[in-house]
Chain A
Amino acid sequence: MIELAFQEKFSKWRVDDARVPAACGLSGLISQDGRAVGGEVIVESMRILRERGNGLGGGYAGYGIYPEHKDYYAMHIMFEDFQGKKVCEELMEANLEIEMGEEIPYRLVEGICDVPLLWRYYALPRPERLEGDGLQADDFMVKLVMDINTTVPGTFVFSSGKNMGVFKAVGSADTVGEFYELENYTGYTWIGHDRFPTNTPGWWGGAHPFNILDWSVVHNGEISSYGINKRYLEMFGYECTLLTDTEVVAYLLDLLIRKHGLPLDIACLVLASPFWKDIDSLGDQTEEDLEKSLRIVYGSALLNGPFAFIVGYSRGMVGLNDRVKLRPLVAATKDECLYVSSEESAIRQICRNPDRVWAPPAGHPVIGKLKGDV
């Protein structure tokens, strides 16, 4: 019997440990004045970064793409089969008022195969369920998404924010863009990712971006502090069940910003905290107290190891490097548009003459914020 218990545990570890070290290409843009940009633009930028991926995962997130459903949570879900879809829809019906459900449009392109069922639903939590659970709508949705992803077989919710959506697949980023017909969408923020996993889980859900509600993350690198970041998040009810360490970035942002109310730039001080020697020599007592408190309280949320990531959310976009800059990240501006990418070439591909191009220093976030409403 003991033998068996061990086997069970073993298989759990296998899944858990399949987090894949990956080197990748990233690109992101935001038009801070809310001007709509076609999806083909980010696809074009990612095409240049093809060298950085190996065709085993690519994806995008666009914000502002569902204006006619903008008050609903847009749930993008992949199903392995109709059985999972049925179970999932029953669970959703019990918890959500679904405004509409439809297949996500796609075209067949070379290099993309084994397509799962791809559906999207615009939905809101049932008020009586919210009251029953005593949760805010956002918390309710996080819990529901985690429930579906951990309990419904062959089913994976890969995005769940409002007026945004994630599109991802096993394939290179440019083909993934064509597959999802991204030229038919416009948004004010786009982020993209091409992946170079060092093994091949061949799972669509494993591609980037990772999303939880409003937050979408594309990530290049490996989070060596994953073990403690995960255990820290578990204290707050987040379950890290995916095949990658990238999800901790999304969950940490959700925790720090949405639940703990930290401003974005301060949350970045948690994720890539300054060195003590720099904190000690700030010379401004208020700043020193703040940064010291953040490190002391949120030490377990520090992301350590080589990374560059770009995060999209409804109000903006942020690019961030680890505290010693072990992965590339370049930024540029042109008028109201901010670009962040692994390589300058990927920016110049879609913006010939930027006003300014720079390499953000280690641990310094590059933040683009939406001005006004869209």
Chain B
Amino acid sequence: MQGSLIPNEFVVDVDHQRCRRCKRCILNCGFGVFDFQSMTTADSSKCVACHRCVMFCPEDAITITRNPLAFKEHSSWGIDSRKAIWKQAESSGMILTGMGTDLPWLNVFDHLLIDACQVTNPSIDPLREPMELRTYLGRKPDKVEIEVDDKGKPRAVNSVENNIKLETPIIFSGMSYGSVSLNTHRALAIAAQRLGTVMNTGEGGLHRELYPYKDNIIVQCASGRFGVHSEYLNAGVAVEIKIGQGAKPGIGGHLPGEKIGLEVSGTRMIPVGTDALSPAPHHDIYSIEDLRQLIYALKEATGYKPVSVKIATVHNVAAIASGIARAGADIIYLDGFRGGTGASPAVIRDHVGIPMEIALAVVDSRLRQEGIRNWVSIIAAGGIRSSADVAKAIALGADAVGVGTAALIALGCRLCQKCYTGNCSWGIATQRPELVDRLDPDWGAERLVNLINSWSLELKEILGALGINAIESLRGNRERLRALGLDSTVMEILEVKPAGV
């Protein structure tokens, strides 16, 4: 039988003059590239360019290059199209992938510019003046009712007590235990606690060991109901109903049985080694009334903690979001089509949904037109790469943003997009104990804290340049954004003026 017709993507080269045969690369590579027969050898066909070997080779002996193999150029039939066809001709299946889409779609964030003060209004120096990023997530009343007691002292009657306090408007997005390792969850939980923000469990339940972090956790309840029980629902500050995910709107999930070891099995409440299948829809939600029932069921189960509803940003997102707000949700989590995933069919990841930036703008505007913006907080996620993206998302109308991919990159992820294989060399998207062990949660937490603190500092610098000293004055303030290189239709939808106006 003939072997594969697909050429290697990368070429691994071991410099045998430098190599001192320590075999570290063999241990480190999660994908089994290296072997040792009298000297270190590499099977380039298995390499995913995760760089683990390169970072750990003590002699700098390893070089990974893109396979320079020439293909006959063709402007319609790119190399990736040809490879995809070979792959499917060999496998008869969907092409799986991990992480967010890698196609060069227009990135709206890269066409938005932020304002600054000059002369007529002074900028503010964040090193000298307070600069406030604190954010509260949850339903807010339309107005504060005041009652004055007999001594003339005013008191707020309606409470905002169950709003979630964040010290910075950045949270960690849901990544399930099972798709990522327990050490990844540990790092996220420790970091969230130290930062005064929250991590989202994703759909795989929460390992009991992390219950002490309950003030910094949002627990998720998805269509598979993995690990959902009453104690779990109360193990966080809020519950999230996951309807959809940006990387794979409208489809379910599939965590292969190999990833369901003893700990994952215990947490997810499914037998060891069985595939964890999340249905595409929730089988108890076929319309907005059903969603309302689940929202209130979860509120009843948790003593009325906030309920978040996570949706993928699809074409009709504004109307859907309005329905969700009216169904009683306290938070709407918009996951854009650039959002990450542990595993998704490439065709869905790359072609379904709309950019979060646009969805966020239309949802915020729609909720305002309907006068119900105060009812819900909006979390925007799916493609937040830097503090500039955070600032732009907030100016478009987000209360806070969710970061998933950026957090994993901080933990070492190289965006090799092979998460679905379970072989992540960085100990992130894997359950293989020897790989999981190499991610030290404390080390990871420190890197996450550093990252979010850096972004927070940069956000304060941006606020200062804008001449404002509280994040709420940037929120929804599209007046402080200008578009460069967007067409007039997109600008109109975003309600952002062109640069120069």
A→B interface (CB under 8 Å): 2, 5-6, 9-10, 13-14, 17, 21-23, 198, 221-222, 224-228, 230-232, 234-236, 259-263, 266, 273, 275-277, 286, 289-290, 292-300, 302, 304-306, 323-324, 326
Contacts and interface: CB of A to CB of B under 8 A. Distances in A.
A339 to B, nearest CB: 26
B140 interface: yes
Interface of B: 117, 120-122, 124, 129-130, 132, 134, 136, 140-146, 153-156, 158-160, 163, 368, 371, 373-374, 466-470, 472-480, 488-489, 492, 497, 501
Residue among A2, A225, A259, A294 having the largest count of chain B Cβ atoms under 10 Å: A225
A266 B147 CA distance: 12
A236 B158 CA distance: 20
B121 A305 contact: yes
Contacts of A298: 144
Secondary structure at chain A's binding surface: helix, strand, loop or mixed?
helix
Sort A-B residue pairs by CB-CB distance and give the 9 closest, nearest first: A227-B479, A299-B472, A21-B120, A304-B473, A225-B473, A227-B477, A6-B488, A222-B121, A228-B477
Nearest to B371: A235
A228 B473 contact: yes
Nearest to B468: A304
A227 B478 contact: yes
B477 A236 contact: no
Contact of B476 (A21, A227, A304, A305): A227
B121 A276 contact: no
A297 B154 CA distance: 16
A227 B115 CA distance: 12
A277 B121 contact: no
Given A17-B497, A224-B117, A286-B153, A297 B468 contact: no
Nearest to B481: A227
A266 B154 contact: yes
A23 B168 CA distance: 34
B136 A326 contact: no
A10 B501 CA distance: 8
8 contacts: A2-B488, A13-B497, A227-B476, A228-B477, A231-B476, A296-B140, A299-B472, A302-B473
A305 B144 contact: no
Contacts of B143: 259-262, 297
Contact of A261 (B146, B466, B480): B146
Contacts of A296: 136, 140, 160, 163
A174 B223 CA distance: 71
A294 B368 contact: no
Contacts of A294: 144, 156
Given A23-B120, A227-B480, A277-B130, A289 B475 contact: no
B123 to A, nearest CB: 10
B212 to A, nearest CB: 24
Contacts of A221: 121
Contact of B468 (A17, A225, A230, A276): A225
A224 B132 contact: no
A259 B144 CA distance: 11
A235 B371 CA distance: 5
Contacts of B480: 224, 227
A289 B476 contact: no
B94 to A, nearest CB: 38
A198 B501 CA distance: 16
A325 B85 CA distance: 65
A263 B146 contact: yes
Nearest to B128: A324
Given A9-B488, A266-B154, A286-B153, A224 B473 contact: yes
A2 B490 CA distance: 12
A304 B467 CA distance: 8
B155 A290 contact: yes
B364 to A, nearest CB: 9
A305 B115 CA distance: 13
Given A224-B121, A297-B160, A324-B469, A286 B371 contact: no
A198 B120 CA distance: 8
Contacts of A275: 130, 132
A304 B472 CA distance: 9
Contacts of B468: 224-225, 304-305
B477 A293 contact: no
B122 A235 contact: no
A302 B130 CA distance: 15
Contacts of A276: 132, 134
Contacts of B474: 228
B146 A323 contact: no
A263 B156 CA distance: 12
A300 B120 contact: no
Contacts of A302: 470, 472-473
Contact of A262 (B130, B146, B371, B477): B146
A122 B283 CA distance: 65
A257 to B, nearest CB: 11
A234 B368 contact: yes
A228 B155 contact: no
Contacts of B473: 224-225, 228, 302, 304-305
Contacts of B469: 304, 323-324
A15 to B, nearest CB: 11
A297 to B, nearest CB: 5
Contacts of A2: 488-489
Contacts of B124: 324
B326 to A, nearest CB: 16
A198 B118 CA distance: 12
A226 B115 CA distance: 13
Contacts of B144: 260, 262, 290, 293-294, 297-298
Contacts of B158: 293
B129 A289 contact: no
Contacts of A21: 120-121
Given A234-B368, A300-B476, A13 B501 contact: yes
Contacts of A286: 153, 155
Contacts of B475: 228, 299-300
B488 A224 contact: no
